[in-house]
Structure 1
Amino acid sequence: MSKFMDVHTDMKGITAEDLLAAHQADLAIQDEEGVNFEQAWADPEAGVVYCLSEAPSADAVRRIHERTGHPASEIHPVPLMV
């Protein structure tokens, strides 16, 4: 399994409650694609949300986000971490 950081860029004004609801929606179906969403961060002013996950592929991450109604603008592999 690989790590991925995905970016959502159309989330201006997102609240903590909205972020939690979106994250929980992902968690509810993540097992169907073998994804493990680990953490989510948001900048409501800029409208950017970041999600860190472990998954078999970027496509698996993409499918989960599309199914839960908040498609990712970008998905980046994270091959190195400290």
Structure 2
Amino acid sequence: MATFMDVHHGMKGITQEQLAAAHRADQAIEREEGVRFQKAWADPKSGTVYCLSEAPSADAVKRIHERAGHPVTEVHQVTYTV
């Protein structure tokens, strides 16, 4: 499994409750693609949302987000962490 950070744009004004609901929607179907969403962060002022996950591929992350109703703009594999 690889680690991925994905980025959503255009979510200006997102509330903490909306972020939590979107995260739960991902988690409800993540097993179907072998993905495990770990954490999500949001900046409601800019409309940027970040999600950290473990997955077999970037495409698997994209498919889950799209099916959950919030397509992702970018997916980056994270090679190093400290």
**Common fold by TM > 0.5:** yes
1:41 corresponds to 2:38:
no
Return the TM-score normalized by structure 2: 0.99
Deviation at 1:12, TM superposition (A): 0.2
Measured in 1, the distance between the counterparts of 2:69 and 2:29 equals 12
Residue 61 of structure 1 deviates from its aligned partner by 0.1
* Amino acid in structure 2 at the alignment position of 1:79: T
1:28 matched to 2:28? The reply is yes
- Mind listing any 5+ residue stretches in structure 2 that lack a counterpart? none
CA RMSD of aligned residues (A): 0.3
Query: Equivalences for 1:42-61 in 2 at 5 Å?
Result: 42-61=42-61
Task: State the distance in 1 between where 2:68 and 2:10 align.
Answer: 15
Percent identity, aligned pairs only, is 68
Counterpart in the other structure of 1:63: 63
List, as ranges, runs of 4+ consecutive aligned residues in structure 1 with deviation greater than 3 Å.
Answer: none
Paired positions, count: 82
SS in 2 for 1:63: helix
